[in-house]
Amino acid sequence: MEKCISESLLVQYLVNELDEEVGDLVRDHLNQCSLCQTKAETLSDDIELKEWHECHQRQQGKDDLQTYPFSEDRLDRLFNSTVSSIQQSKPFSPQSPASHNQKNNSSINQSNSASFNRKLHQDTLRVIGSYHLIKKIGQGGMGVVYQAIHAHLKKQVVLKLLLNNDWENSNQSLRFYREMELVGQLDHPNIVKATDAGETDDTCFLVMEYLEGHDLKKILKTERSLSITAACSILRQAANGFQYIHNNNLIHRDIKPSNLFLTTEGKIKILDLGLAGLSHSETSFSDLTDSNCIMGSAYYMAPEQAMSVKTIDQRSDIYSLGCTFYQLLTGRLPFKRNTPVETIIAHREDIAPRLSDYLSDVPETLEELFQSMIQKDPNDRIQTMAEVVKKVDDFMEQEQDSLLHEASDTSLTHSQELIRLCQNTDLSPPVEALSQYSSTLFQPTHRFWNKKNILLLIMGIALLNAGLFYFIRFDQIPPPVSNIPKISPEEAQNQRAAALWALEHECELTLLLANGVKVQVNNTSEGLPKDDFQIITLKLYHNQPLDENALSLLKNIKSLNELRLDDCVLGDNALAPIKGLTSLTVLDIHHTKLTDKGLSHISELKNLKTLSIKLNPDLTDTGLQVLNQLPRLEDVDLARLNITDKGITFIQNNSNLTKLNISETNVSDASVPYLIALEELESLRIKKTAISEKGIEQIRNAFKDHDPVRLD
């Protein structure tokens, strides 16, 4: 099934009208085609939920279940996302969890082994060490997540790769290394387990256990809201896992439904420690972030977290978990306004909603717990996750009879199965809080909302109008200036047109507003400011062909400082429109099938400082002569190019070079004298070059205070 699936066929698939053979073909296609996946999700919203709602309305008027157009089997097909997950949770095994456990015999093992072998040979997207990447299942700010199989163990895993375009970003790679270390050290039933980590072909990877089930965001999309039983079970498990994290001097900082995963066994697993930070008592934390960072999700962010990530503590996570708990019970966000700025202000200023506003019979104990988790001032909040666990345990014990009655009252929806799942889950023992977090009777040293902090917050939240999910860094951009030259209406129109094109092609943009504030927008035009702006950086993440026409809108974007087109396919004239962008200082065009002719268009980029053209085998010594016309280069990556010493003659005219990567090239000892002359050189990667041991020793001896040579 090479062509995309028709809408009518998708509809038949979604309502289970196809025979098994055709259904399998459609399912296989959906696992590989992102366009059809998106179409299926849209149709699912429009068809499945509306039809179910109509059925539910009819049931309320009649007791006869025959009024349903769906049988119970078909209802299970429509609402199996939490437990069974036909498309995602069990793509390789033909057995359900129950039947697999009941029939653990040699014939099934042989069948599973054959299935794995077939996947290894037919569906492998890429091989990383012993891991065959089978399916891309997600992408975040730092990495791409794949479903994978260990070739020898025949075991499913989840493998996270650091994004190629972020490899040269030292802070990103340091954070990724830290996530490897953190996940590897943490061992708790409610935290996803790491099984392996490493680096191969300049690519960092982290291997984690494969989980069957869905994250809470997907579950809420189907269920809308959860029962008290399910929500309390989830809250209890998550809080216990977070207390373990806090005991290890870590703050998660990005708690939200998509980072909490419910397995088919009813276990909650905490995901994504990529933004986790050491508590402010740990001085090493400052190496990877600073007070000019804002991390998290606006819908769930504690007021103090918008001020600074360096001064927050475990109570910010408690606030975010409280917001998540509210959404689980009501299906609503506690603070949702028209813009991210208004949302953050609402967290700070507006009165928190009550569960009873939408749940008339919610027990007062739960209302009190929720309110204690989302107090504006962290000193007024419940102080530890351990206390949240205790309060939930006490509530579940006291209300056991009513919660059992809740399960019996639930109708045919998937919620009944979810309630039973959560009721039968084995809960891990409560984690005690360490002594420094053990008391709720914190003595406030000062009120948080003084005038100075309020002013700082107002300045900080102005950065959030690019979108509701963000990670903003200021240290990569010059400090805001007070007087930004006003742009003409024509230039403003050009900037907006280029931004819209970029976002349609799944780009990430950094924009400069008239007041000097810089904001990020990712993948969607909804985050574009209404006021005029200038594009500062443009990063195109996904592999796609680009020619001169595609990039023509960049021709007049004189404000562009950073352009990343790595992994795209660049035609010979694709870069022609950027000839006049003299403000460009960073250009990443590695792995783009670039030719000598294509590279020639960068000759006028006189202010270029960072250039990556690695992994372009068609580039030659002749093509690289254009680098002689770029006198301000500081960081150049030429790894795995078919070049010799003639290809790096530009280093003779670039005394400012601090980083140079010529790994896996034919550069030899003839270039050693010129490499030694680079007095500012901090890093020289020369793995698998023609430079001899003697040449390497000469380079090392020339730099008395440090060793720039990197052989990894």
pLDDT tens digit string along 503-537?
888 788 989 888 777 888 876 777 788 889 999 99
Closest Cα partner for 75 from 359, 443, 407, 415? Answer: 415
pTM surpassing 0.75? no
Lowest mean pLDDT among 94-98, 297-301, 628-632: 94-98
Higher pLDDT, 434 or 603: 603
Are the CB atoms for 543 and 569 separated by under 8 Å? yes
Give pLDDT tens digits for 13-61.
665 556 666 777 777 777 777 677 777 766 655 444 444 445 444 444 4
Backbone angles phi, psi at 157, to 5 degrees: -140, 170
Strands 683-685 and 659-661: parallel
160 labelled ligand-binding? yes
Structure tokens belonging to residue 627:
């680098």
Task: Give the C-alpha separation, 330 to 227, whole Å.
Answer: 9
Q: Residue 616: its pLDDT value, please?
A: 95
Each residue of 508-542: b (16+ CB within 10 Å) or e?
bbbbbbbeebbbbbbbeeebbbeebbbbbbbbbbe
Q: Is the pLDDT of residue 453 over 60?
A: no
Closest Cα partner for 199 from 159, 237, 235, 153? Answer: 159
Are the CB atoms for 684 and 709 separated by under 8 Å? yes
Cα separations in angstroms, 535 against 60, 71, 377, 432, 526: 55, 54, 37, 49, 16
Q: Residue 8: its pLDDT value, please?
A: 62
Q: Is the pLDDT of residue 109 over 50?
A: no
Higher pLDDT, 387 or 15: 387
Query: Helix, strand, or coil here: 238?
Result: helix
Task: Give the C-alpha separation, 305 to 623, whole Å.
Answer: 49
Give pLDDT tens digits for 192-242.
888 887 777 667 788 888 888 888 988 888 778 888 888 999 999 999 999
| Residue ranges of domains in the chain, CATH in brackets | 1-78 (1.10.10), 88-93+106-210 (3.30.200.20), 224-453 (1.10.510.10), 472-710 (3.80.10.10)
DSSP H/E element including 111 = helix 106-122
Backbone angles phi, psi at 143, to 5 degrees: -150, 170
Q: Give Dmax (Cα) for the chain.
A: 90
Q: Is the pLDDT of residue 117 over 90?
A: no
Which positions ≥6 away from 672 have C-beta within 8 Å? 691, 695, 698, 699
DSSP letters, 588-654, are: E--SS---HHHHGGGTT-TT--EEE--S-TT--TTGGGGGGG-TT--EEE-TT-S--GGGGGGGGG-
pLDDT band for 441, please (50, 70, 90 cuts). Answer: very low
Give pLDDT tens digits for 268-325.
999 876 555 545 444 333 333 433 444 567 889 898 887 665 668 899 999 999 999 9
